[in-house]
Structure 1
Amino acid sequence: MIKYAPTFDSEDVEIEKFYEEIEKAKGYLKSQDVIIVMGDFNAKVADESVEDVGPSGIGTVNERGSRLIEWYQINNFTITNTWYQNHPRLQWTWKSPRDRSKNKKDYILIQKRF
């Protein structure tokens, strides 16, 4: 299933609907299926001391990041691409116009058991 995350100017209702649709899609899968959720969540999880967030984040956690953390903890996932130590120039996945700021907003989540 392909679903686009709400943009930064979206209302909280749209964000909750997005996570509900992910839950609905999970409901169609078998318990033994490998579930990978990935994409641009418009979230920053940084390198906070949160369970299953690795040390290679950028910046500080934003509201969308907090919501993503809440979702993956409830659903027993981990954010895999925060665990790889890369050179700082290779960590960011988004760059603002005129190169003023860089962030990591794209994530790959997988169930902890895998």
Structure 2
Amino acid sequence: MISIQLQGKPTNLTIIQIYAPTTEAEESTIDDFYMDLQQILDDVPKKDAILIIGDWNAKVGETAVPGIVGKFGLGKRNEADERLLDFCQENHMIITNTCFQ
């Protein structure tokens, strides 16, 4: 993971680049990944706009989840989807690439 804060007006932008463990990784590795990411996110100033980009190794599927997943997801959900959806819900985040065709 890497994080950068860009100074901007009217708000700053924090970009966090990630590469999530695959579904074949040990549960402790996945737990550590999400704990580390949460720590980085908690350290971001509350007024910053935040983008988390990279490879989540998760498929959220075609089913929309109001406020989190749009109607343009692809494929069928995999094992990593629930953890990602929970993370997004807890942090009030949207998986934006599922909102546009």
- Same structural fold, with TM-score higher than 0.5 when normalized by the shorter chain: yes
| Cα offset, 1:19, TM superposition | 0.8
Q: Aligned letter for 2:83?
A: R
Among 76, 80, 85, the alignment partner of 1:60 is 76
RMSD (Å) for aligned C-alpha atoms: 1.4
Q: After TM superposition, list the pairs within 5 Å mapping 1:60-79 onto structure 2.
A: 60-79=76-95
Structure 1: unaligned runs, 5 residues or longer: 86-114
The equivalent residue for 2:21 is 6
Q: 1:55 to 1:3 in 2, by over 3 A?
A: closer
Q: 1:54 to 1:3 in 2, by over 3 A?
A: closer
- Moved >4 Å (runs of 4+): none
Whole-angstrom distance in 1 between the partners of 2:23 and 2:82: 14
Whole-angstrom distance in 2 between the partners of 1:45 and 1:22: 19
Calculate the TM-score normalised by the size of structure 1: 0.68
* % identical equivalent positions: 38
**Greater RCO, CA 8 A, separation 6+:** 1
The equivalent residue for 2:63 is 48
1:63 aligned counterpart, secondary structure: coil
| Cα offset, 1:39, TM superposition | 1.1
| Cα offset, 1:84, TM superposition | 0.8
User: In the alignment, is residue 18 of structure 1 matched against residue 33 of structure 2?
Assistant: yes
2:73 aligned counterpart, secondary structure: coil
